[in-house]
Amino acid sequence: MLGRYIIQRLLHLIPVLLMVTIIVFLIVHIIPGDPILVMLGVDPEVGATYTEEQYQELQKMLGFDKPVYVQYFRWLMRLLDGDLGLSLQSRRPVMDILLERYPATIYLAFMAFITVILIALPAGTIAAVRQNTIVDYTAMGYAMWGVAIPNFWLGLMLILLFSLKLGILPSIGYESPFEYPFKFLQHVFLPCIVLGTSMAASVTRYMRAEMLEQLHQDYVRTARAKGLPPRMVIVKHAAKNSMISIVTILGLDIARLLGGSTIVETVFTWPGVASLLLEGIYARDYPIVQGAVLIIALTYVAINLFVDITYKWLDPRIKLE
Amino acid sequence: MARYIMIALTWALLINFSIPWESAWGEPKRGGTLTMAIRKDIRVLNPLVRTSSTDASIRGLMFESLLTLDEKGKIQPNLAESWKISPDGKVYTFKIRKGVKFHNGQEMTAEDLKFAIDYTLNPKNSAYGIRILSSVKGAEADGKYTLKIRLKNPNPAFLSFLINIRAFSAIPKGSVPEGVRKITNFPPGTGPFKFVKWQPKQRIVLERFDGYWGHKPYVDRFVMRPIKNATVRFTALRAGDVDIVERTSYEWVSQVQKGRLKGIGIAQALYANLRGITFNVAGPPFNNKKLRRAVGHAVNKEEILSAAFFGFGKVDDQKYPKGHTWHFEGLPYPEYNLDKAKALLKESGYKGESIELITAPGDVQEIMATVLQAQLKRIGIKVHLAIMDVAAYNERERKGQFAFRFRGGDFRADPYPTYSRHLICEADLKRRIANVSGYCNQEIQKLLKKAESELNTDKRRELFHQILTQMAEDLPLLWIGFIPRFFTYNKNVKNFTTDADGRFRWSGGGVTHTWLEK
């Protein structure tokens, strides 16, 4: 049953991904800008030193003299062979570049996600249980602050405090968690606090609202009436039922973590996919943009699939069809 | 020889501006890893492609040119030990230094240099030096240690093209594939540092090359960390995550100079960039010379520099700074005079239409554009800003789809490549390459042709005076001034200096001469 459902969902993915690639391909080709000039190293601070012959040669070699739909089909055909093409700027395979950058994004997203869960779920639950008390006001105050604070500013402030004043954490960079686990934790701490804080703030509000709703349901009253300990009522009954909508929000938030962490990646020089996508757009490096969007889209739909399966676990009444 | 003396004089003037902030550094110490935060990551691991700006500085640590300039700005042997020029000025014969080793241990020969020149001249390879070497007919190796370069026409500036790696650098024959293909590693060079690894967006790691023929670096490793944002770069320096920072923002430099931030040294590249305005003279509204000159009289250069660069720039109206051999006094550039500006504007027939100023994004560029907009408003010219990313900006320039724009620039040892790029008529105004303004003056074309191969320095100077006088009169470009760039470094870094261009390594020092105080 579950296997069939997953296969069905995977088949649905094909048109979705196809549409995503067509739309992105069209958009990056429609926006003004010439990738060949970027490739030739034309720099507004220096000026051009190329020849027209070089320009034409590159244009022909890269197929930019062909109509956009021809270029798209060529790209698609290569994709079916598992080839995402070469980056226009670095002339390295897009797949290699994605494999270098994707793990950094995933690790950061994962750590930030853990931060969100560790902050938002307890904070939202306690705020709901202790509604209209100082605990509730503090949690909601944090939620307002966390949403309003710009990531760029918070990032720099944390660097000033932890790197400059206290000197206990590095201000920039990334290390692989498998090669240097301790260094990785040092490097990931500040970025995941910045990413996690703003995201946890909104999840806290949702969690509080959901919990408040659940706490007023009949089954909670019944559970209390039959003498269950309050902790069990809250954790096992109310919190679990609140999780259905929270899981949906968390699923969408992970997607935001994957594609939307550009500012955090910039402040902490974190070599992830979000900044790669941005660099690709600036340089009109079409294959990079296509590849990065594709991998973000794939991850996004995979997470959504996972979220849908999680519903079933949280509420066995839900049927996966 | 007079022409080389001329080049020497001009460079002497420029290089001497780079003075370390401390004079007594103590005894050099060996070892350690020096880390520098750089503005841009490298993109292509091909030493013959993208050899400008930061890419050039990075490549300059691993790869070398045939000739160089000494601290006094005199052309000196480098990979070539000596050279002879044929009486007709068309054949240059270089004696190649014996015993120079590539990083893989192989000895460098004339064949390797011929390969680099041929590779550069092949348009399929998109090598940066193709335009610089446009006067080259071909190269040939005569034995292991003799290289002959044949020119299409005599070119008095030719040796000055070979003083840095912009044109080409030495790599082993066959070490880079033809065409735009994947290159996974830098090929071996002959420079003081050898390439170890590149982790994109994280670090570029170089190692001291023990077999280097010249001054060997004091540090064992030189690591560059690409950090795009200037504030983040400087914060990394203060946090001690890096030792040196390239292109420190002017705001921070000003703080250091005022003594508000302690323990930070500064190295200045005085003439690293030249800023100016280019008018698109091939189309309305700036095909109207009176309108261009009206703008020229309305621009207050001091105000622009003080607003955008914390007053660090130096106002100028030419591509060579005041005091330089190729700087001419008294050229008819418009001076700041609002009355003249208003009178010319009236004569130009300007009807109050809004004119688009295109600019690349960035704090400095946007401030410059906004100040210019306000200045032109004072005489009644309406300007709207179009801020666009580099890819779009470059495309607009190439197609001539702009009214006027800000652009940076630099100058070479010789005035011909410095100025000709702005003056030689473009074959197709919809596909502009170097002469973005679309300016085309037939009289200047004749003078340039003469100047290109004129061997007598006085006559050449006179020719350039005539050319620049006409250019100042027609005003396709309005130069604003020179902008310095700053390196900042922590107190453990000793003897780091840079040249007027802001390179990481130059004949008088740079990271090869820098050591770390532990």
Decide if pLDDT at B277 tops 60.
yes
Tens digit of each residue's pLDDT (9 = 90 or more) over A262-320: 888 888 989 999 999 998 998 899 999 999 999 988 888 888 888 888 877 777 777 76
Q: Looking at the complex, report in whole angstroms how far the Cα of residue B386 sits from the nearest Cα belonging to chain A.
A: 13
Q: Looking at the complex, report in whole angstroms how far the Cα of residue A279 sits from the nearest Cα belonging to chain B.
A: 11
Report how far residue B207's alpha carbon sits from residue B187's, in angstroms, rounded to the nearest whole number. Answer: 14
Q: Looking at the complex, report in whole angstroms how far the Cα of residue A87 sits from the nearest Cα belonging to chain B.
A: 9
The reported pLDDT for the residue numbered B182 is 66
Q: Are residues A100 and A204 in the same domain?
A: yes
Q: Looking at the complex, report in whole angstroms how far the Cα of residue B126 sits from the nearest Cα belonging to chain A.
A: 6
What is the chain B residue with the closest CA to A264?
A: B232
Are B392 and A52 an interchain contact pair (Cβ–Cβ within 8 Å)?
no
| Mean predicted lDDT score pLDDT of chain B | 90
The reported pLDDT for the residue numbered B22 is 42
Interface test with A, best of B366, B433, B436, B485 (most A CBs within 10 A): B433
Pair B228, A266: CB distance under 8 Å: yes
| Interface predicted TM-score of the whole assembly (ipTM), two decimals | 0.80
Of A66, A94, A122, which one is at a domain's C-terminal end?
A94
Within 13 Å of residue B421, how many CA atoms lie on the same side as its CB? 22
Percent of chain B at pLDDT > 70 equals 94
Return the domain boundaries, chain B: 29-190+503-516, 271-483
Q: What is the band of B8 on the pLDDT scale with cuts at 50, 70, 90? A: very low
Q: Are residues A51 and A119 in the same domain?
A: no
Please check whether the domain covering B29-190+503-516 is classified as CATH 3.40.640.10: no
The reported pLDDT for the residue numbered B15 is 47
Q: Is B431 on the interface with A (CB under 8 A)?
A: yes
Q: Are residues A90 and A102 in the same domain?
A: no
Q: Are residues A246 and A104 in the same domain?
A: yes
Q: Which residues of A touch B130 (CB under 8 A)?
A: 49-51, 54
Q: Looking at the complex, report in whole angstroms how far the Cα of residue B36 sits from the nearest Cα belonging to chain A.
A: 13
Q: Is B5 on the interface with A (CB under 8 A)?
A: no
Pair A280, A39: CB distance under 8 Å: no
- B354 DSSP β-pair partners: B382
Q: Looking at the complex, report in whole angstroms how far the Cα of residue A58 sits from the nearest Cα belonging to chain B.
A: 7
Interface test with B, best of A43, A97, A184, A286 (most B CBs within 10 A): A43
Tens digit of each residue's pLDDT (9 = 90 or more) over B142-191: 999 999 999 998 888 899 999 989 899 999 999 998 876 667 789 999 99
Closest-CA residue to B106 (of B170, B51, B176): B170
Pair B386, B318: CB distance under 8 Å: no
pTM: 0.86
Are A269 and B225 an interchain contact pair (Cβ–Cβ within 8 Å)?
yes
> What value does the mean pLDDT take over residues A236-241?
84
Of A61, A94, A127, which one is at a domain's C-terminal end?
A94
The reported pLDDT for the residue numbered B13 is 45
> What value does the mean pLDDT take over residues B2-22?
45
Are A92 and B427 an interchain contact pair (Cβ–Cβ within 8 Å)?
no
Tens digit of each residue's pLDDT (9 = 90 or more) over A10-23: 888 889 889 999 99
Are B273 and A164 an interchain contact pair (Cβ–Cβ within 8 Å)?
no
Neighbours of B212 (CB within 10 A): 19
Q: Greater confidence, B128 or B183?
A: B128
Q: Are residues A145 and A262 in the same domain?
A: yes
Of A94, A121, A146, which one is at a domain's C-terminal end?
A94
What is the chain A residue with the closest CA to B232?
A: A267
The reported pLDDT for the residue numbered A321 is 60
Q: Out of A40, A52, A91, whose CB is closest to B431?
A: A52
The reported pLDDT for the residue numbered B214 is 93
The reported pLDDT for the residue numbered A47 is 63
The reported pLDDT for the residue numbered B17 is 44
**Which of the residue ranges B259-273, B284-298, B333-347, B407-421 would you say has the lowest mean pLDDT?**
B407-421
Tens digit of each residue's pLDDT (9 = 90 or more) over B342-364: 999 999 999 999 999 999 888 88
Q: What is the band of B24 on the pLDDT scale with cuts at 50, 70, 90? A: low
Is residue A189 one of the residues assigned to a domain? Answer: yes
The reported pLDDT for the residue numbered A320 is 64
Pair B40, B224: CB distance under 8 Å: no
Q: Are residues A58 and A101 in the same domain?
A: no
Q: Are residues A101 and A19 in the same domain?
A: no
Pair B235, A163: CB distance under 8 Å: yes
Residue B36 DSSP class: E
Are A47 and B421 an interchain contact pair (Cβ–Cβ within 8 Å)?
yes
Q: Are residues A225 and A196 in the same domain?
A: yes
Decide if pLDDT at B9 tops 80.
no
Pair A200, A139: CB distance under 8 Å: no
Are A51 and B134 an interchain contact pair (Cβ–Cβ within 8 Å)?
yes
Angle between helical axes of A94-129 and A134-148 (0-180°, round to 10): 150
Within 13 Å of residue B10, how many CA atoms lie on the same side as its CB? 21
Q: Which helix (H) or strand (E) holds B354?
A: strand B354-359
Q: Are residues A100 and A73 in the same domain?
A: no
Q: Which residues of B touch A42 (CB under 8 A)?
A: 394
Q: Are residues A140 and A256 in the same domain?
A: yes
Q: Structural domain of residue A77, as residue ranges?
A: 2-94
| Full DSSP string of B271-285 | EEEEEEEEE-TTSSS
**Which of the residue ranges A123-137, A245-259, B95-109, B391-405 would you say has the lowest mean pLDDT?**
A245-259
CATH number, domain at A161?
1.10.3720.10
Q: How many domains does chain A have?
A: 2
The reported pLDDT for the residue numbered B52 is 65
Q: Out of B241, B408, B428, whose CB is closest to A172?
A: B241
Domains B29-190+503-516 and B271-483 share a fold: no
Decide if pLDDT at A48 tops 70.
no
Is residue A228 one of the residues assigned to a domain? Answer: yes
Are A269 and B52 an interchain contact pair (Cβ–Cβ within 8 Å)?
no
The reported pLDDT for the residue numbered B16 is 42
Tens digit of each residue's pLDDT (9 = 90 or more) over B51-77: 667 888 999 999 999 999 887 778 899
Q: Which of residues 41-70 of B touch A (CB under 8 A)?
A: 43-45, 49-53, 55
The reported pLDDT for the residue numbered B4 is 45
Interface test with A, best of B38, B41, B43, B388 (most A CBs within 10 A): B43
Q: Which residues of A touch B398 (CB under 8 A)?
A: 34, 37
User: Which tokens is A163 given?
Assistant: 């790197």
Is residue A308 one of the residues assigned to a domain? Answer: yes
Q: Are residues A248 and A99 in the same domain?
A: yes
The reported pLDDT for the residue numbered B78 is 95
Decide if pLDDT at B118 tops 70.
yes
**Residue listed under structure tokens 């690709």:** A280
Interface test with A, best of B40, B49, B59, B126 (most A CBs within 10 A): B126
Decide if pLDDT at B301 tops 90.
yes
Are B126 and A97 an interchain contact pair (Cβ–Cβ within 8 Å)?
no
The reported pLDDT for the residue numbered B108 is 97
The CATH T-level fold of domain B271-483 is: Dipeptide-binding Protein; domain 3 (3.10.105)
Q: Greater confidence, B73 or B262?
A: B262
Is residue A301 one of the residues assigned to a domain? Answer: yes
What is the chain B residue with the closest CA to A163?
A: B239
Decide if pLDDT at B198 tops 50.
yes
Interface test with B, best of A38, A55, A90, A108 (most B CBs within 10 A): A90
Check residue B509 and give left, alpha or beta (phi > 0: left; psi -120 to 50: alpha).
left
Q: Are residues A65 and A109 in the same domain?
A: no
Report how far residue A66's alpha carbon sits from residue B458's, in angstroms, rounded to the nearest whole number. Answer: 52
Neighbours of A10 (CB within 10 A): 12
> What value does the mean pLDDT take over residues A86-112?
90
Q: What is the band of B38 on the pLDDT scale with cuts at 50, 70, 90? A: very high
Q: Distance of alpha carbon A253 from its chain centroid, rounded?
A: 7
